[in-house]
Structure 1
């Protein structure tokens, strides 16, 4: 295998050398086209010559008799004049700006004549005269530019109208049998003339002598061309398998994609070598040269379609193809369909160029083109069916992603075009059919290439970041890069679908001119300058914020909230200054739209008053800092720690680990309880109940001792124990203690309660609990038996036990068998 690759590289070097030796210099570089406009000796436009050109263009548009070639040349001439006028509009701009500044320093002209000094009036008159004289060439250029622009637009409209009429023209039907004999005779004549040309070339003594002298080199090129055309794709595939076998993860996809491009490049080199060999042999006649000129496009279309089909439907290196089919036979069928589409796409220019060379009639061309249209439509329909089956097999209707829906839409479009275009061609709309069919094939090819490049970018991103392809597929950067490629491909798609290059250049010129914003014109250059300056200012602001947060502010005595307020304020100030400097540097004057901006601000203020209120409240919070990050606050029934303060809202993390977003206006206008503002010291209150009959002084001493022994309770002020009073079921006490860190309130309560339970158990102090006994004097009523009811008996009686207390309640239901025991227990109590 190594010897084989070495031989291929050697052959490639030989080909390059041969191209350098045999390439003829007869095709000299085309001289740059001189401009079509005329200028005076001082460099200003010759408006007399321009008037003649404009009158000629108006006559050509009105008569509508000139050819498209003449209109193209005339349009190019008008474009040159328009560019000249565009440059002329910039003349005297510095002089005009200077005179305007001088006039502005004199102030507005008084409404009452003679109310200002005569010197100022005379000076204003002189400056106005000079300003009008400086503006005169600019105004002439503006008027001529406007006229040229209108004429160009009229020519574009006329050519679009002609293009539409030609596309919708009804021609002869290819299924008309009367046209077949003429088409057969025309094709037979062309083939006969081509054979005659080859025979004449071989019959010439001079040609045979040249062939003998160049025979070794010609045979060498023929052998190399055949090898590259027949075997190069197999060699590249084997090379790709070897390269992928040495890689792991995303790198396999990167290496595989790069190596696979050789499946197109190597055969294309073979085609160019074949053309060199044919030129050396001298066997190409006039018609053979027509075919040879289109041969590179035919080869590129064929081998590109083979590459696309392999990358889309085949499995290389054990990976999953982009469009996975359930059976190998279906994958093979899909690759064959794509390859045949590419072959027919490459064959179509050969047919059209040969038809133009031979001067075929419309009937002959429609008959010869119909089989190609029919076959292309059939293959395109099969490709569309393949895409539809793939989506239906791998995605349900409701769970389909945007990519899958787009593929399904493309499949349906291919099927529709594949069915409609042969029908149109059969009716006689051959031009319309070809204008839909082959652009659709090219569009599908470009979309396929973009999809494959997107997969390559995902693999490349995964290789650079050292992550797997599944994670790289979810990244944003590959999607953005593919989106840029899609935008760059839009002009190519426009050319594919029949948009003229002059229309694209006109669109680009309009884009370069920008749009008017007040008295300033915003162009792509202006926007790039603004974006560059603003980007630099934004990055500098973020760097300064990072330095403040990490290096400068932590060394000050400011708390965390103050540090955050300064960093956020610097960020807003930096972004504002960056925007102002960028606007000023770009030369955008917003003073002329100040009134409009003021009117809009009133409407926006009413519509966004809540957002503005929250924004202003956020600034107040950052300046006054009533709350800071890390504070424990309670507002509007929500309690938690402040985690982030922005200009619109504040984020609070509650104790159950949920985030609550509070508008800043609620924090400024509402009641806010801050448990840790300034310091973390706070008070805890722990209620305690003991049974009646307990020694209250002893209880107070025990509770005081427990509170003092806890490490979180402060010594100054010391804890206190309060005898609150006599409750319904217990003697109520409270421990009131100041904690050094109120954030540990719940844990302190739990620890103190544990200690109280332990000490009360040691001291024999009873903690009461609520208990209730329910007495049923007639339980037989529940069973349906006849009641033995004394006259003085009552239905029910509820007797509370004396020792019932607060913490819990107990209820007992006693039947008649348990009444005696219950009465005895009650009596004992």
Structure 2
């Protein structure tokens, strides 16, 4: 017994002797902190050097809007990296502050001096904290500097946009005979470039070109044939229906514009992709082809939209009750306007790639804007409605004045030399107008589907009603969900398109989406869409897991154990309450909401219970007591 006790004492002494001293541990931690400081200092120096290079680029006189957006995105990445460098010291600073608090304040004057080991440790911790604060301060200064550069970029972009719209050009040189000679030389150069590439492609890349074309055509065939089989009843008007409902007309107009346009866009994009994949295109021809296919897509979308809304062949399916003749003219005028602007865009790409003189660019834009202005005036003065007495009536006054006013202002701006302003207005009338009209039709369709009984009248609703057990109430609820989904899809698809048309760059949309997903700060509250969606998904998973566990516990465990029906009901409900409460807490935490604020919520809830919720809480607690004590249970008869 004595030998065993001595052995235990010896083992304890050896273990204590083998443990590192606090000074040695502090030295090891200090060495790790020194390496961290050195690494983050080097990282911030590299970030500062990158910022210096980007700031020099801002001073370049030839910066365009896309280049400025790219610089801003790089600066924002640098700012986030600097913030991460500062956050890398959070854990070490907490340890230092905690250790300093343990050591306590240094002895006051006149007090006995503290041990040297304590004084040395406090001095080392203080010095280390000062070094860390210096690195954090440099990261914060870099972030402040980047914020100033981002504001400067916003100012430069605003000035660039205003200069494009307000710059005045002299039309005398643009409309001189020299402009016609320059245009002839331009088309001659374009013809030679395309002919030389086509000769080379047919001679050396014929098999690759044929394979790329066939693959693109195969994809187009799959989209068209499959789309017609799956969605034929949705985006094709049925001539046999004499009086289609408003919802049917809206759905056909919206989907007959959106689906074929998306299919054509996928076909054109796949064509360019396969041509690039097989190295069929060279640099200049690739840019020409991209511009030409963009023109085709825009003109097709405008034509589909006007045909869907006006439906010259089927008067019963028209959204706007205009006569057949004016409907055909409106489709032609709108398509012509899109073709003119698209052709102007294609020529602008050609002029930029081939180094055309400025006079030719001005002449091209002048002719295009004047044609668009004339088309707008013709559309405004058109009389599309026919009264019962056979007389023709014009558009409503507000719509007529807007169309004529836009046409006259576009022509006036072009004649005064403000070509940039005239071209901007023309493009917005066609592209933004088409986008807004399509989105508006989609919103109207979603609203009609969400109304009571609206979804049941659709082809999908009728199919579900005939092939499933859905009742009218369930179909209405499903229609509401479909309506919300369509609205969200329209916002997510059309809002970025409108922003791009109004001069914003993809980098702007990317930045806004990142901020919206990671968190928008309003006062002291940070709202994160991604966090909220994560919390909802986590709560939904917890809710369904709770329901599954309830069913498994009731049907597989308690049923086999011959547990009383009342006990089973009480346990099942108690598990349900506990599971939903736990899922709610986990969902709130996943959403990024600070659970430390729950005492405030509980206090507010207690105040509400004290004033107006006594009966609700009393009934709920009484139900819990009945579940626990079971004075009467499932199967008992109560006679009143």
TM-score (norm 1): 0.50
Supply the distance in 2 between the matched residues of 1:442 and 1:87 (Cα, whole angstroms): 42
Q: Which residue of 2 aligns with 1:433?
A: 422
Aligned residue among 490, 496, 501 for 1:486: 490
Unaligned 5+ segments in structure 1 are 1-38, 391-406, 629-677, 682-829
- Matched-pair contact (CA < 8 Å) for 2:312–2:327: no
Partner of residue 190, structure 1: 183
Q: Determine helix, strand or coil for the equivalent of 1:368.
A: helix
* In structure 2, distance between residues paired with 1:518 and 1:427: 48
Which residue does the alignment assign to 1:156? 154
Secondary structure of the structure 1 residue equivalent to 2:148: helix
Q: What is the CA distance between 1:503 and its match in structure 2?
A: 3.0
Structural mapping, 1:401-800, within 5 Å: 417-450=406-439, 461-462=460-461, 465-466=464-465, 475-489=479-493, 490-515=495-520, 523=528, 526-540=531-545, 567=573, 574-585=579-590, 588-591=593-596, 597=600, 613-624=611-622, 680-681=639-640
Q: For residue 475 of structure 1, give the secondary structure of its aligned residue in structure 2.
A: helix
Query: For residues 91 and 360 of structure 1, do their structure 2 counterparts lie closer, same or farther at Cα, with a shift above 3 Å needed?
Result: same
Separation of aligned partners in 1, 2:305 and 2:55: 49
For residues 590 and 230 of structure 2, the distance between their equivalents in structure 1, rounded to whole angstroms, comes to 55
1:375 aligns with 2:402: no
* Residue 307 of structure 1: how far off its partner (Å): 2.6
Q: Deviations over 1:452-482 (max 9, x none)?
A: 76759975753663479x9879921222122
1:307 aligns with 2:304: yes
Q: Corresponding residue for 2:358?
A: 361
SS in 1 for 2:321: coil
Higher relative contact order (CA 8 A, sep 6+): 2
- Cα 1:195–1:58 shift into 2, 3 Å: closer
Alignment partners' CA distance in 2, 1:442 and 1:201:
29
- What secondary structure, in the 3-state scheme, does the structure 1 residue paired with 2:317 have? coil
Q: String of CA shifts for 1:82-118, please: whole Å, max 9, x gaps.
A: 34323323424444455567778x5997999989x98
SS in 1 for 2:88: coil
Cα distance in 1, alignment partners of residues 194 and 551 from structure 2: 79
State the secondary structure of the residue aligned to 1:428: coil
- Give the Cα–Cα distance (whole angstroms) in 1 for the partners of residues 367 and 582 of structure 2: 68
Measured in 1, the distance between the counterparts of 2:478 and 2:400 equals 25
Distance (whole Å) between structure 2 residues aligned to residue 67 and residue 258 of structure 1: 36
The reply on whether 1:349 has 2:345 as its aligned counterpart is yes
Calculate the aligned-residue CA RMSD, in Å.
Answer: 6.4
Instruction: Tell me by how many angstroms 1:343 deviates.
Output: 1.2
Asked whether the equivalents of residues 519 and 527 of structure 2 are also in contact (C-alpha less than 8 Å), the reply is yes
More helix by share: 2
- Which whole-Å CA distance do the structure 2 matches of 1:60 and 1:290 have between them? 26
Match of 1:166 among 159, 164, 167: 164
- Structure 2 Cα separation of the partners of residues 519 and 74 of structure 1: 30
> Contact conserved, 1:526 with 1:586, CA < 8 A, in 2?
yes
Q: Deviations over 1:668-722 (max 9, x none)?
A: xxxxxxxxxx9544xxxxxxxxxxxxxxxxxxxxxxxxxxxxxxxxxxxxxxxxx
Pair 1:266–1:84, CA change in 2 (3 A): closer
Distance 1:624 1:262, change over 3 A: closer
Match of 2:85 in 1: 88
Task: Report the Cα distance in structure 2 between the residues aligned to 1:189 and 1:48, rounded to whole angstroms.
Answer: 52
Tell me the secondary structure at the aligned position of residue 499 of structure 1: coil
* 1-structure distance, mates of 2:531, 2:255: 41
Match of 1:15 in 2: none
For residues 619 and 603 of structure 2, the distance between their equivalents in structure 1, rounded to whole angstroms, comes to: 24
Using the alignment, how far apart are the partners of 2:231 and 2:566 within structure 1? 63
Task: Provide the rounded CA distance (Å) in 1 between the counterparts of 2:382 and 2:309.
Answer: 12
Instruction: Work out the CA distance in 2 between the residues paired with 1:127 and 1:501.
Output: 48
The alignment status of 1:146 with 2:151, answered yes or no, reads no
8 Å contact from structure 1 (residues 377, 422) kept in 2: yes
Rounded Cα–Cα distance in structure 1 between residues aligned with 2:198 and 2:260: 41
Counterpart CA distance in 1 for 2:96 and 2:321 is: 74
Aligned to 2:333: 337
Q: Deviations over 1:238-297 (max 9, x none)?
A: 9789965999999x9699789856984699599979x99xx99x9x998x9975552212
Task: For 2:42 and 2:433, locate their aligned partners in 1 and report how far apart those are by CA, in whole Å.
Answer: 48
C-alpha deviation, 1:619, in angstroms: 1.0
Q: How does 1:179-218 map to 2 (within 5 A)?
A: 179=173, 181-182=175-176, 184-192=177-185, 194-195=187-188, 198=191
CA distance in 1, matches of 2:537, 2:374: 52
SS, match of residue 357 in structure 2: coil
What secondary structure sits across from 1:323 in the alignment?
Answer: coil
Output the CA distance in 2 between the equivalents of 1:307 and 1:218: 33
- Shift of the alpha carbon at 1:435? 2.0
Q: Supply the distance in 1 between the matched residues of 2:150 and 2:371 (Cα, whole angstroms).
A: 41
Name stretches of at least 5 consecutive residues in structure 2 with no aligned partner. 1-35, 242-247, 387-395, 450-454, 627-636
CA distance in 2, matches of 1:493, 1:324: 24
Size of the aligned set, in residue pairs, is: 541
Larger Rg: 1
Preserved contact between residue 421 and residue 433 of structure 1 (Cα < 8 Å): yes
- 8 Å CA contact 1:311, 1:452 repeated in 2: no
Q: Compared with structure 1, are the counterparts of its residues 527 and 537 closer, same or farther at alpha carbon in structure 2 (3 Å cutoff)?
A: same
Give a deviation string over 1:54-78, Cα, whole Å, max 9, x none: 55666776x7856448756654653
1:208 CA drift (Å):
12
Deviations 1:515-543 (A, max 9, x none): 56999976555444433323323444566
> Alpha-carbon deviation of 1:155?
1.8
Q: How many angstroms apart in 1 are the aligned matches of 2:524 and 2:439?
A: 42
